[in-house]
Amino acid sequence: MSILQFHTDRGAPRPIHTEIHVERLTLRAAADWQQDIAAECRRRRALSADLFDWLERRGLFDRCTVLAAMEAETPLLFRRIGAPTVKVLGMGWSRSMIGQPEAADPHADYAHRIGLEYAEAIGAGEALFNRIAVTGVGRPFVYTQALFGWEDRGRRAVLSAIDVQTIH
């Protein structure tokens, strides 16, 4: 169910003021299941479908969003959108974003800011953990993301394990 408000009959859309607050925390602050995912990614080192199967078997994949770029210098595209994001931004938005770059997201400020975190996770090849508070995209919400990135000959991918804390 979407919580976005669409104004279809008001002429030009009102500019949306988006505020994003990203707080970098240590992985110790993450939920147990987020820590489990980070540990498994670290253990496997390379990205494989086995990892996704592992996540599915443990019922954790629903909470994961994956973006990937299959060629160097091309933008990350949404390959999977996790249930928390579907719940916050809606099924329609989610379906329309599969195969699209983050930049196609109408909430450009938000996408850009989170994109920086993705790039950092890919560059680090290590788990990152953030607490993110957003206002101006749908209803205000707070969530944490455990990120893990991979790079393979210019191809990149990032997994975001999302724990929604609050929707106000």
Partner 1 sequence: MRSTMIPSIGLTFAGAAQRIADLARDGLHHEYAPLEDKMLAAQPVTPLDVLAVLDRLLCPEIGLAGEGHRHAPALQRVRDALDTLLAGSEDADHGPFLADVRRWLKLEATIGAEGQDDADLIDSSEEAFRLAMQIATYDGNPTLAMAAKAILLWAGHPVACHPDSKPGALPFPPPVSAARKEDDALIFGLVADALRAVPELQVMLTSEAAVATESDDFGAAIASLADRAIPRTAPAVPTVITDAMVEAGATAAGCSPDAFRAGMTAALKMMEAA
First to last CA, the chain: 15
**Per rule CB under 8 A, count of chain residues that contact partner 1:** 32
Closer CB to partner 1, residue 94 or residue 130? 94
Report d(CA 65, CA 86) in Å as an integer: 10
Going edge to edge, which strands form the sheet with 64-69?
Answer: 19-25, 128-136, 138-152, 155-167, 64-69, 77-80
Each residue 15-54 as x (binds partner 1 by CB under 8 A) or -, in order, gives -------------------------------xxxx-xx--
The least CB distance from residue 14 to partner 1, in Å, is 25
**DSSP code of residue 8:** -
Region 45-104 residues binding partner 1, contact defined as CB under 8 A: 46-49, 51-52, 56, 61-62, 66, 68, 70-71, 78-83, 86-87, 91-92, 94-95, 98
- Work out how close the CB of 2 gets to partner 1 at its nearest, in angstroms, rounded to a whole number: 8
**Tokens in use for 65?**
């969003």
Asked if 161 contacts 63 with a C-beta cutoff of 8 angstroms, the reply is yes
Contact yes or no for 141/116 (Cβ under 8 A): no
Asked if residue 139 binds partner 1 (CB under 8 A), the reply is no
Looking at the Cβ atoms of 18 and 52, the one nearer to partner 1 is 52
Quote the CA–CA distance of 138 and 166 in Å, as a whole number: 13
Sites of contact with partner 1 (CB under 8 A): 1, 46-49, 51-52, 56, 61-62, 66, 68, 70-71, 78-83, 86-87, 91-92, 94-95, 98, 150, 152-153, 155, 157
